Amino acid sequence: MTFSIPDGRELLERTPSALTGMLAGLSESWISSREAEGSWSPRDVVAHLLGSEKHAWMPRIRHILEFGATPTLAPFDSEAEITASAHRPIGELLTEFAAERERSLHDLDALGITEAQLELTGTHPEFGAVRLRQLLSTWVVHDLSHTAQIVRVLGTQYQDDVGPWRANLRLVR
């Protein structure tokens, strides 16, 4: 499947409700659980998604549309919002993420990006030349990757308690 804004938007608009359905109302023991020392908890992942929403996706899209490859896209601190939101309730983070995502998708729609514009190039501080199509595709896969990460973190909390079924449960093998 080749990226298209309508197809990608279908997934992007569902992420906040999917995460809310999965995490809202869970006890702190679930929300703060980790796979290993130093890994991200579900709260950390939602905070990271919120930070990405505010400081990465739309700012970088606008940058490529306005400036192209010069200057380089601003670096993004993937852990800044995790630090800033370390003790915020998950419900608050989910609500803010949903509002920011709704705003981002409204702004994306308003840009009216054409097929030709999807081929515009920007310069990423680490990867070099990137096309707008790649950035938008990455936004979608980024959501899916972090949703899978949350599921994995939650599943691993019972990895030692599933007994012999562990062999059948890819999530905890």
CATH class name, domain 5-158? mainly alpha
Cα R_g (the chain), whole angstroms: 18
Q: What share of the chain is helix, strand, coil (3-state, %, to 5)?
A: 65, 5, 30
Q: pLDDT in tens for each of the 173 residues of the chain?
A: 999 999 999 999 999 999 999 999 999 999 999 999 999 999 999 999 999 999 999 999 999 999 999 999 999 999 999 999 999 999 999 999 999 999 999 999 999 999 999 999 999 999 999 999 999 999 999 999 999 999 999 999 999 999 999 999 999 98
As a whole number of angstroms, the distance between CA 106 and CA 13 comes to 10
Query: Quick check: pTM over 0.85?
Result: yes
The domain limits of the chain are: 5-158
As a whole number of angstroms, the distance between CA 29 and CA 135 comes to 35
